[in-house]
Amino acid sequence: MIVIDHQPNRVSVAVFGEFTLADYKEFEEVVNFKVKFEGPVDLCFDLSQMAGLTLDVAWEEIKFSRAHANDFKRVAVVTDSQWVTWSAWLSQTFVNADVEVFANADEAKAWLA
């Protein structure tokens, strides 16, 4: 399950439990709308409560990142998982954005502020 919050020039996403393709598609719709009307946005992805993700989400993330290479200014990822940290750094090769990984959401939000 995901919870999406958006403010001017920012999209914040928190994932709880398993991250499914339906969740990712919901995220994509919000980002596409924001980018269309506001231009590049900051992104805060809180994955600290994520239990896992499906393989189709991983593939969709790669396709989405490549298609939206210039649509993000800064990307903050909140996680304590080494695998997610590694994945975040790998995704930086597909986007022209500053990507930082944080241990907690407050640090991520402060960086984006």
**pLDDT at position 89:** 61
Residue 16's pLDDT band, with cuts at 50, 70 and 90, is very high
- Quote the distance between the C-alpha of residue 5 and its chain's center: 12
Q: CATH number of the domain at 42, please.
A: 3.40.50.10600
pLDDT tens digit string along 44-54? Answer: 999 999 888 88
Is residue 42 within 8 Å of 72, Cβ to Cβ? yes
Total domains, the chain: 1
73 lies in which domain range? 2-112
Where do runs of H (alpha helix) occur along 1-113? 21-38, 55-67, 82-91, 105-112
For helices 55-67 and 21-38, what crossing angle results, to 10°?
A: 10
Most confident of 23-37, 52-66, 72-86: 23-37
Report how far apart, in Å, the C-alpha atoms of 15 and of each of 27, 29, 34, 109 are: 11, 16, 20, 16
pTM above 0.85, yes or no: yes
